[in-house]
Structure 1
């Protein structure tokens, strides 16, 4: 593949990745609101945990069939790797927040943005080169 074509393909994947992330986030938030406002779940953490399952499932399906389409392997293998990547991302996000806000005493909102930016980059690269290679 010529360098220009590779750059266009990578750019297209990243744009699809961003779209998929927005859709998965909207699903997560929508299910969270449904759990709290319609089902009247009293624990926000439980409502959020359940909603996260829907958001992560949406992200996986979108990654498999929209972002990294044409890279179809075993669903079980990809699903297991996807969950491992997300577990690692959650730990990285928590570590950044701990160091930034709890240890250094800096603004947690800025730390959240930094951690989320790192999360996005790590997730894209891990999904491209490990999960959906």
Structure 2
């Protein structure tokens, strides 16, 4: 006796019903992950700048722009969000008050975990499109 139906049975149906709370939670998670990307003046960019310095921010920003441009991060949200960051986050950089003293290893670990969280949340979204393309045309779902 199963408490939940087997995964194969649930995936064989054309529609799977989920709670609106699941959709709202997923939207919040994706929004937070986009904000944690190490780009420009976003929270992830500020974290990267303070923990690892300007050179690391420049490299990570370039990689994130490439990932957003190619749709690897965030699938259909990637291009609009990448354009938003390019257009709206282009203000002059605010310099850190104390760039001389370093950041502790614990805080660097937290910063790295934050950025890894963002990337691991957004990468599977791009993989969904490849799975749909491998199955076939949308008419095969009917």
Q: What TM-score range do you get, normalising by the shorter chain?
A: under 0.3
TM-score between both structures, scaled by the size of structure 1: 0.28
Q: Answer 1 or 2: higher relative contact order, Cα 8 Å, separation at least 6.
A: 2
Higher helix share: 1
TM-score between both structures, scaled by the size of structure 2: 0.27
Bigger radius of gyration? 2
